[in-house]
Chains A and B, each alone.
Chain A
Amino acid sequence: MKRRNFLKLSASACAALASLELQRGGVFVPRVAKASSNKGRDKLPGSLGAKEVTSVCEMCFWRCPIVGKVKDGKLIKIEGNPKSPANGPRVCARGNSGVQLVYDPDRIKYPLKRTGERGEGKWARISWDEALDEVAHNIKKVWKEHGKDSLAYFDHGASAEFMREIFKTIGTENYTNEPAFFQCVGPAALAYIKTLGYVTTGTRQYVDMKNAKAILLIGSHIGENVHVSHVREYVEGLSKGAKLIVADPRFSAAAGKSDLYLPIRPGTDTALLLSMMNFLIEKGLYDREFVERHCTGFKNLKKAVKNCSLDWASRICDLKKEDIKKACIILSENKPNVAIHPGRHSTWYGRGDTNRHQALAILAALLGAVGVPGGLYFPTPVKKGHVTFGCNEEEGEKPDTSIQEDFYPFASMFGSPTAKIVEATRTGKPYPIKLWGINGVNILQTIPNPYETMEAIKKLDFIFCEEILPTETALVSDIILPGATYLERYDSVYTYDLLTPYITVRQPVVEPMFEVRSPFWIARELAKRVGLKCFNYNEEIEFIEEELKGAGLSLKSLNQKGGLVAFKANPYRKRDELKVKTESGKIPLSIEDFEDEDLDSVPKFVPTPAPPKGFVRLIYGRSPVHTFTRTMNNLWLNNEMPENHLWLNEELAKKVKLKDGEEVILENQDGKRSWPIKLKVTPGIRPDVAYLPHGFGARSKALTKAYKKGVSDQYMITEYENDPFIGASSHRTSFVRIVKSGKVINLPELSPPPSEIPRYQMTGKGGRS
């Protein structure tokens, strides 16, 4: 056939073709020769000659200042902002890989609407108008039918803050239940607020490892947990000769650099800390002058820890008494310049979590390691303009039984406990929750027992999310709003108040792809449709200018200065000037607020149940090239670490004839089984635990690079306990055994727990005791 045969197309076909108003106009325009102002720089290879745009990373939430290199409107490379005193020109592997996030074909490109059953996987692309109208209609409907508190919002990160204003303005008490708080840093944050009067550990940790003479890490695995400036300071401290003590059931990257490694029995960290306090007090090795001048409640503390001998801790923690003593002496000899790292992710065992971090804060105080070089230090606030969006700032009236106030005495300082929201949605008690908005968090891979979370989702009238990638949570949403990546949007002004303070701004490095929109635009448009008076700025740049004005800057002047302005830090206090922001201005070693709520005012060791026979405890941690479950689909990062392996003790493995690299399945105490996973058999882990790097085992097939790679720890954590202070959920209270070739392998107990530690009781049928 020849193309002239197309003349044979019938007259009617030709007429139809001619009559169809086919879309074409505007796709191409005549090319206009442009006078090149860049002298051929765009022809240089790689990122040479590229346009440079400064911004702020969000591959993790440490938020390093970056420079995006752009050619022909395309992002070529990301580097650290050389003006940044924190990271300089460096970014981590994840920071580099932001390029791959923008150009991932799996990303959500347009607003999507569920067309089949919830979770069935049938969607249709819809317009923004339709998507926002649908979300607004359902918000108004549920609000009217079930009341304001029947709306709940799960949020995380900068992208979620604008939409939070909508839920807050509606007046629901469930306007924020950040899994990042209630499944992560919550217990530690509370402990430090109550002890030192500020969030010593939250998004950031104010601990001066750079100038420390000794560093204590309890479970913190810096190096695997990578935040560039934090790691740099840690490495600098070590290079200057700081002694490193690491307590961890696993021989972590940090343990590999330690002077003293304490392979502690999981769940016994508080016992270790109490015995150390007791030893320091008994032997007079604490900073007596500091305690007398700056602390209260010493007598209570002394009394509470007096029976916590090194012998007792040695038996409970399965550590050598001499090693604990050695740790105490190292810390005492180097006081007050000792970095007692406050930790971050602290939702481990439920009951004792807040007290464990309170114990860490007290230990720092006993050593006088507060407000001094090498110790815990104070933030240096960086001045910027205060911006309000004109949304309702008032708290709504609380319901008869409040999820936020009536279950956990300190939860309302931070929001509504995530687990309680899930429970209320499942059971309708204390009141029904019928709509979830989700933003920036993959709740099915974040909250323990995702099977319960799915039960809750099935009971919702409506669920929507703002997402970048088609996560497990997106797949069960009724409407998905495609959010712009951090490289395609403005957010706001960022200040860094650690040892090297600065002010910078997140600004778009490239134009947004497809129909993705910035979180501010989405929130503003949605608020209008819900009928809320919210967001008195038209676009981000307006409030960014306001914020910068307060710092004596404008966006233009900031950009002229390289996108960042640094300030001098004021982290330390002279002893006679030290005053912490607690009620008394002193550091309470015994917290009355806790006592008032019938909670332990001084940390007490509360044992967490030991593994049932045949099982080991499942613990998890970070991978240096991944963030939560957010980066497993990233091409470069997936290439670096596509899947996780299960760490299992060598001696234990030998007893049951399991070999390194072998593929097995995990079964937990409730009979839940994992996907296949390879074993990493190593002497570098205790025999009563198994360890998984977190975030793998994606169950969303739409995450084509991450799907079914490795195992999700979250889907194996079905047993959890809520912390009595704030209702944060424990993540290290589930246990696993091995299934190989269909046969269940019970794991022998090589480190039996002492009598003080009860054993987890199985029901015999799976499920909870």
Chain B
Amino acid sequence: MADQILSKVIELLANGFLYPNEINCSSDFFNALRELGSLLGIELSPSFEPSIEILKEEYTRLFVNNPNEPCAHPYSSVYLDSSGLLRQRGEEEATKFYEMAGLEYSRNQKESSDFLPTELFFISELLYRENFSTLSSFLENHFLKWFPLFKNRLESLKPNPYYKILADITEALINLLKKEVIDEKA
């Protein structure tokens, strides 16, 4: 049961990193995030409900194209490959893990398979399936190798609190998972 809830929670975070839409900018979404934050000791003000317009502008600045400084590109290849290009080592690694879990990234997607929300959806899927061995390896050998670098870059851009908290909660939860599925196993 706990893993099913956690799976849903990670799915929530993955949605948070998608382009702002009616779902991830809804009161219900903010409330769920707020409650999740409080459980992890990360505070989100009760009055915090940014408009979708503000978040769209912010998302574009942080993750799509930033006219003033380098983006926090939400793709593992940018961090895992010395070239800093898209669709490199990060994508190859992620794809191999998807295959390992018997999954394939849908060809209908506009984003490459190492897109942050996609990797979070994968973690959610592994939790849902209780596939802890793949989860352990994915976190240790892939996700945790780049997510902290991404988060540093994001923080250097002084993001809107929404994205700061989203990244903080993601980090806290992933570290929790790491502790349970990697460290304790060891």
Contact = CB atoms under 8 A, between A and B. Distances in A.
- A associates with B: yes
A303 interface: no
A12 B31 CA distance: 9
Contacts of B73: 105
For the complex, would chain A's binding face be called helix, strand, loop or mixed by DSSP majority? Answer: loop
Of A1, A3, A104, which is in contact with the most chain B CB atoms at under 10 Å from its CB? A3
Interface in A242-262: none
A124 interface: yes
A309 interface: no
A742 B68 CA distance: 27
Contacts of A6: 2, 5-6, 9, 39
Given A17-B8, A28-B106, A105 B32 contact: no
B71 A105 contact: yes
B85 interface: yes
Given A123-B57, A702-B65, A30 B3 contact: no
Interface in B14-45: 14-15, 18-19, 21, 23, 26, 28-29, 31-32, 35-36, 39-40
Contacts of B23: 20-23
Nearest to B122: A28
A146 interface: no
Interface in A614-653: 635
Contacts of A122: 57, 61, 67
B49 to A, nearest CB: 14
Of A29, A30, A72, A635, which is in contact with the most chain B CB atoms at under 10 Å from its CB? A29
Contacts of B59: 125
B176 A635 contact: no
Interface stretch (A108-116, A225-233, A486-494, A656-664): A108-116
Contacts of A31: 98-99, 102-104
Contacts of A3: 2-3, 6, 176-177, 180
Interface residues of B, number: 69
A21 B22 CA distance: 10
B5 A9 contact: yes
A72 B59 CA distance: 30
B19 A125 contact: yes
A14 interface: yes
Nearest to A8: B39
A19 B65 contact: no
Given A1-B176, A20-B29, A104 B85 contact: yes
A20 B64 contact: no
Contacts, number: 168
Interface in A1-36: 1-10, 12-14, 16-24, 26-32
Contact of A514 (B88, B103, B111): B111
A28 B103 contact: yes
Interface string B124-148: 1100000000000000000000000
Interface residues of A, number: 56
Nearest to B109: A27
B48 interface: no
Given A6-B5, A24-B11, A470 B86 contact: no
Interface string B84-98: 111110010001001
Interface in A709-729: none
A2 to B, nearest CB: 7
A475 B67 contact: yes
Contacts of A19: 28
Contacts of A21: 23
29 contacts: A2-B180, A3-B177, A9-B35, A13-B31, A16-B31, A17-B5, A20-B12, A22-B11, A22-B12, A26-B106, A27-B106, A28-B103, A28-B125, A30-B102, A31-B104, A32-B104, A100-B85, A103-B87, A104-B86, A112-B64, A115-B57, A123-B60, A123-B65, A123-B67, A125-B19, A470-B65, A701-B66, A701-B67, A701-B68
The 5 residue pairs across chains A and B that have the minimum distance between CB atoms: A121-B67, A13-B35, A103-B85, A4-B2, A31-B104
Given A13-B35, A28-B121, 17 more contacts: A1-B40, A3-B176, A16-B31, A19-B28, A20-B12, A20-B23, A22-B8, A23-B18, A26-B106, A28-B106, A28-B122, A31-B103, A103-B88, A105-B71, A121-B66, A513-B86, A704-B70
Interface of A: 1-10, 12-14, 16-24, 26-32, 72, 74, 100, 103-106, 108-110, 112, 115, 121-125, 470, 475, 513-515, 635, 700-702, 704
